Each structure stands twice: as structure tokens, then as C-alpha cells.
Structure 1
């Protein structure tokens, strides 16, 4: 099929595929169109330059999805469904970083919810979270001690936010903080919501080590609110090895990179 398509026809087909799926990997594009991955990478670069899509390492996503631009986040239920398999792999890999008697701040996110399911299979953790869903998931294992942060309720993601939540976070001290993020580039981790960014910053201040969970769609992306510089992160867990430039930036910042398989 791909050998008979002109570039303009491939561009149209790529656009159609993204309109349906929202996001797709290079390998899947190549298989669907019957061309090499290198051809797809060139096509994606050209379409990205034209503003037709957003290319990231390993694939591309639609510039618009359900009427929202790429530099915004969709509803939490939609984010839960996106890259679900990748998030489960990241969550399982991240859970292996922790052991009995570890204490963890965990913020609210689709990937940390996936991690909570893996944490429930461990023993003897202390978990402090602003997510009722994470709290309930981890508390299914009676060996864990769980503290649920209260505050103004954010109905979309089901999380506690605002001044009361920040005040309660300040009463705890934990060895680890595990964060999900909206975006990451070669300088910092970022979020799209100022209140969620404030929660993450407060947890960082009260923890010794920072672990960030980010699927491949978060790389080489920018959001409005900076959470922390890259140099503040201890460990980054993802599902696809980032670009060479990003790997170099992580190494320069002394960030341990874990790619879940």
C-alpha cells in the first residue's frame, strides 16, 4: 500500500489515523501504511513543521483532540484511557523501587493510580496521598498505613487541592514522593494546572527523593507551570527510551532513567 501512495496521500492517511486514535507509534504507522519507519519519521517531521500534528520520540499525536489544543489536558477519564497499557507497565516498574517501611507521598494522576494497584501487592508501606482512589486501592492491603489529604475537592481527577491540602502536606515527612506530570523537557517537569503544580511542589519540599512517572507522550512537551528543575529529580520511570537529547539532559542532571518493559 505505502509504495503506491504519494507523500500527500500518506499525509492524508496519517491525519485520518490520528483523527481516529489521537496518538500512534511510528511502528504502527509503518505497519498500517506499508512503508519503512524512516519514511514515517520523515513524514511526521514534515507534518509537525506544517503544524498538522505533534511529533514526539517514537510517534505522533493529533494537534487537536475533542476540540482541545495539544497544550491542554483533556478530562481525567480520557487521560485514564490514554496509553493505559504503558501506564500499567510504568506503575509496575516504579513499585519495585519501594520496600517495607518506606514512606511515600503520591500525587493524583492516571499513572500513579496504575502504580497504586502494584503497591497494594507490597507490604508495610506508609502512603500519603491527595487521591481518594489511590488511598482506597493501597488500603486494600491492611499491612499499609494510608493517610488521605483533605481539602477542596477537584471533581475531574477526584483529588484534594488548595490551601487546606497544602497545610496538611506540611505536617508529614516522607522518604519518597512519586509524581505524575503534564510535560517534561530538557530543563524541567511541568503541569497544566496551577493547583496540581502547588500540590506537587509541597510534596517535593517534604520528601527526600523524587520519582517521576511519565509515559512517552509527556516528553518534549511544555506546560504552563513548572514543578521542578530536571536536576531535582532522582528517578524517572517511563515506557519508551526518550530521544538522545533528552537522555543526555537526564544524564547531565544525574537522573536515573528506568524504561519499563
Structure 2
């Protein structure tokens, strides 16, 4: 198991157990107590858990709220991002679009930008594209339905995505850290994003400024897998330098007054 995979699994085990000991983690991960302690220190510094004597406890800050609440947060910024992102695609493009508050606003703008082929695990995105003035081809991926996010998740969805070869993947994420790593708070959503990245020729990530320079639980990809980041304001220097070094184009969608 690679170190990042081990730490991802460790963070998930802490989340599931709420509190867990170093000895239990060492047994479950088949590694040494020293390695567990080092990993817990790193995860604690990233704010993904709290290291305590003899183990770790889960921090509730690593959770996301339901989609309805997220759509109401930074609404103007997300609308601006969606509008700017929709202008980047050409009629006839095929797009894999994941579920999230910002991709929902993206779909609102994209449906007025022409005809596209959209494959998504979001019922909100599918509904928006179905109501487009210029009819688009809309495919809703099938799997286990999660009402809080109005999304379909799980291995059935991943399997379907792996059979596709789209022009673009358009993704939301939970965080971009200062090293340019793209991350999410939900493991299954991260699996979907990874599958979409692998099945698309170009990757566009939509993220409002609050996501930049922060950490989340699950890694989605390194910066060199992303072609464009669409956001509402310039990232801080560390994030911007990491992204530009990896060749990521940064597009700013400014909210309207």
C-alpha cells in the first residue's frame, strides 16, 4: 500500500470508529506503530483528525452539508464560476459532469450555450440539461442514489464511467491544498471524480475561493491531471504557483454586482 493510500485508509478508519488506538490502526493496516504515529501527526496537521494520547479521534469539520445548503453558500460566486466555465466549451462537446453545488450552477449556464452530450451522476445536472432550449444528449449514470446530494454513487457508476471516452470532465472538489493537490471530503465522490478524470481528454475543475488553500480527507488528483481551474478569485501565491508550475490554466469568473 502506498503511503498516501495508507493515510487515506487511516483517516477513513478514524472517521468510522470516531476514536481508535494506535495499536488498532497498526493491526488493521498491517504496519508499525511508528508509521501510524507519523501518519497521524501528518493527518492532524492537515486538520483531518485530532491526535490524542495513544490514538486519534475524528473531527467533524471533515463533513459536507447537504446540496441545498451548499447551493445557498457563496451563491453569487458559484453562479459566476458556472457562467465562466460554460463559455469554455464548444457545441457538440461530450462532458462528464459530477454532482455538486457548483456544477449545478454550471449546468444552468451550459444549457443556454448550445447542444452538448452530457453524462452525469447528478439528477440536478441532468434535469437542467434536459430543459435546455437547444436539446442536448443527456445520460444519467445508474447506481445507488443519495438524496442529500441528489447524486448517484458507488461501483456501478464507476464501472459505467470507465467504459466512456469523453472530451471533457467537469468536476467540483472540496479543497485544493497549497501544494496543488485536489481533494474531496467524501470517499465515493472522490472515486467518481477519479474515474471521470481517467475517462476524459481534458479536465476542468470548478471551485470557489473558499476551497483554495485548504485540506480535505480524500485525494482526487495531483495538479498535473487538471487542465483548467475555474474560480471566483485569484488563489494565494502558494496555490497559484503550484498550479501554474503544473500547467493548470486559471480562469476567474467574477460575480456580477
TM range (shorter): 0.7 to 0.9
**Alpha-carbon contact 2:197-2:225 (below 8 Å) kept:** no
Equivalent residue for 1:161, pick from 141, 153, 165: 153
Structure 1 residue 75: Cα displacement: 2.4
What secondary structure, in the 3-state scheme, does the structure 1 residue paired with 2:113 have?
Answer: coil
Aligned-pair CA distance for 1:171 = 2.3
2:169 aligned residue (177, 183, 190): 177
Q: How does 1:1-261 map to 2 (within 5 A)?
A: 69-141=60-132, 142-185=134-177, 186-261=179-254
| Structure 2 Cα separation of the partners of residues 132 and 164 of structure 1 | 16
User: What CA distance in whole angstroms lies between the structure 2 residues aligned with 1:164 and 1:209?
Assistant: 23
Partner secondary structure for residue 254 of structure 1:
coil
Q: Which aligned runs of 4 or more in structure 1 are off by greater than 4 angstroms?
A: none
Any idea what the Cα deviations from partners look like across 1:180-203, whole Å, max 9, x if unmatched? 000111231001111000000111
TM-superposed deviation, 1:69: 4.3
8 Å contact 2:81–2:253 — kept in the other structure?
yes
Structure-1 separation of matches of 2:62 and 2:135: 41
Distance 1:144 1:212 in 2: 22
- Cα RMSD, aligned residues only: 1.4
CA separation in 2, counterparts of 1:123 and 1:240? 27
Counterparts of 1:224 and 1:115, CA distance in 2? 25
Give the paired residue count: 195
How far apart, CA to CA, are the structure 2 residues paired with 1:247 and 1:151?
A: 36
SS of equivalent to 2:89: coil
Could you say what secondary structure the match of 1:211 adopts? strand
TM-score by length of 1: 0.72
SS of aligned partner of 1:90: helix
Q: TM-score, normalised by structure 2?
A: 0.73
Stretches of structure 2 lacking an aligned partner (at least 5 in a row) = 1-46, 48-58
2:95 and 2:170 in contact (8 A); partners too: yes
- Cα deviation for residue 71 of structure 1 reads 3.3
